[in-house]
Amino acid sequence: MKKIMLAAIAAMTVAVAGPSVGTYQAPSVVDSGPYVGIGYGFGTTSVSVDGFGSNSLVGTTDSDNVFIQAGYNFNSFVAVEGRYGYGVENGFDNTSVDTFALYAKPQFPVTSELNVYGLLGYAWSTSYCDTCFDTDFDGLAYGLGASYEVTPKVEVFVDYTNVYQDTTSIGYADVDQDLYSVNVGLTYAF
């Protein structure tokens, strides 16, 4: 009796879902080749101190930037990308952060127009400040985003990137530093 019920459920599943049950055919969205882009990053630099049993936020600073990017799509699932961001000075102490990052970019076409992707790489940054010392820092960079094809050559994108995250021990305290941004932009594929 169990075998008959299982056979009936399987037959109904195939009849309702069709012969492609369990298979996914990714849309062929991305042709291989180079692309370039421009964007704006709404960035934040934050510093917090964890010591003596408490964690307190020392401060956050806007670290927006205008950036250009260039990349190469190997296929619909893998690309590499470089970004250079020129820091926009904020009004408080004229702080700005310039960043150069290189990423491996795994991507997944959800539809023929919509693509989601990850970013994993390394970034080099310099912070410029009128009231403090200029600082160079580098480290692991990562992000997550989505792009939408407006025309066969033009896409709009939005993503989140974290280009620096570090903890430094000073005496009995740990100083945590983060540099992250939400980015919007436009790419053109050749």
Instruction: Write down the domain spans for the chain.
Output: 28-189
Say which CATH class 28-189 falls into.
mainly beta
Token pair belonging to 57: 């936020």
Specify the length of the chain in residues. 190
Asked whether residue 5 carries a pLDDT value surpassing 80, the answer given is no
Residue where the block lists tokens 């066969």: 152
CA atoms of 88 and 40, how far apart (whole Å): 10
CA 164, distance to chain mean position in Å, is 13
Asked whether residue 107 carries a pLDDT value surpassing 70, the answer given is yes
Band (pLDDT 50/70/90 cuts) for residue 74 is very high
pLDDT in tens, 25-49: 555 545 789 999 999 999 877 767 7
